[in-house]
Amino acid sequence: MELSQKFYPLFISGGIAGAVIDLTLHPLDYIKTRQHRNQKLDKKASSFYKGLSAALMSSFLCAATFWTFYMICKDNMLSRNYSLPTVETTSSIIASFACCIMRNPFERVKQLVQVGENINVIGAILHIYKDQGAKGFYNGFTALCVRELPFDTIQMLLFQTLSHFLLIDFGEFNHFIYGGIAGGFTAYITTPIDVVKTLMMTNASQCKSFLQTLLTLYQKEGIGALWKGWIIRVIYITFGGTLYFGVFNMAFKVLTS
C-alpha cells in the first residue's frame, strides 16, 4: 500500500484506539491525578468522569497524530535501510514530540478540571487564559516531553521486541497481550516523571522547572513521594496498552481490508 493511502486508516485507527482507552479507563486517571495532589477522592460517580470531554478529544487527536507520524517515519527510514533499533527509536521520538505539542493544552485543561472542586472544561480554559495567557496552556510542556518521549520509545521498542521474537504466540491476541506487558513495565519505571508532570500542570508546585520540582518534592516528602499512584498508573497503562495496540491493530485491519 502506498504511503499516501495509509494516511487515512492510520489517523482514524490511532484516534479510535486513543479514544477507547480514555472512555474505558478515565476513572483510574482521575484517581491517579488526585493522589499526586494528596487530595481526597470525591466519591460521586460523576466526579470520576471529570475532564472526560477534554480527554477524549485529546486522546483521539494525539493517538492519531502519534501513529501517523510513527508509521510514516518508520516506512521512510526502513526504505533507506537503517537498522531496526534506530528506526524504532527515531520514529517513536519524532511521533511522541509531535503528539506532545498537541496534547499539552488538553492535558492542562483535563487535570485542572480533575483537581478543581467546581470547574468545568470551559471554566478551566478561561481560568488558564485569564491567569497566564496562551502560554499557560503549555505549562508543564517540558515535563510532558520528559515523560512521553522515553515512555513512548521504551514502550514501542519493548512491544516490537516481544512481537518480533514471539516468545509465546497468542494468535489474534498478540497485540493485546504484548501491548499490555509493554505498557505496564514502561508505566512503572516512568512514574516519578508522571508525578512531577502532574504537579507542574496543576500549579501544585511553585517551581518553574522540571528538575527544581523533582528536587523540591524529594526534599520535602522523600523518595516515596516520587512513586505516588504507581499502582493505579501501572494498572491503568497495562489495560491501556492492551487496548491501545489491540484496538489499533483491529481498526487498521478493517480500514485497509
- What local confidence, expressed as pLDDT, does residue 61 receive? 92
In angstroms, how far apart are the furthest CA atoms of the chain?
56
Mean pLDDT of 173-199: 90
Q: Classify burial at 136, counting beta carbons within 10 Å of its beta carbon; exposed 0-12, middle 13-18, buried 19 or more.
A: middle
3-class DSSP assignment, residue 70:
helix
Residue 12: pLDDT over 90: yes
Residue 26: pLDDT over 90: no
Per CATH, the architecture of 3-256 is what?
A: Alpha/alpha barrel (1.50)
Alpha-helical (H) ranges within the chain are 3-36, 52-79, 84-115, 121-132, 141-165, 174-189, 191-201, 210-221, 230-256
Residue 216: pLDDT over 80: yes
The pTM assigned to this predicted structure is: 0.78
Residue 1: pLDDT over 60: no
Q: What are the extents of the domains in the chain?
A: 3-256
- What local confidence, expressed as pLDDT, does residue 52 receive? 77
Which DSSP category does 190 fall into? T
Mean pLDDT of 81-110: 92
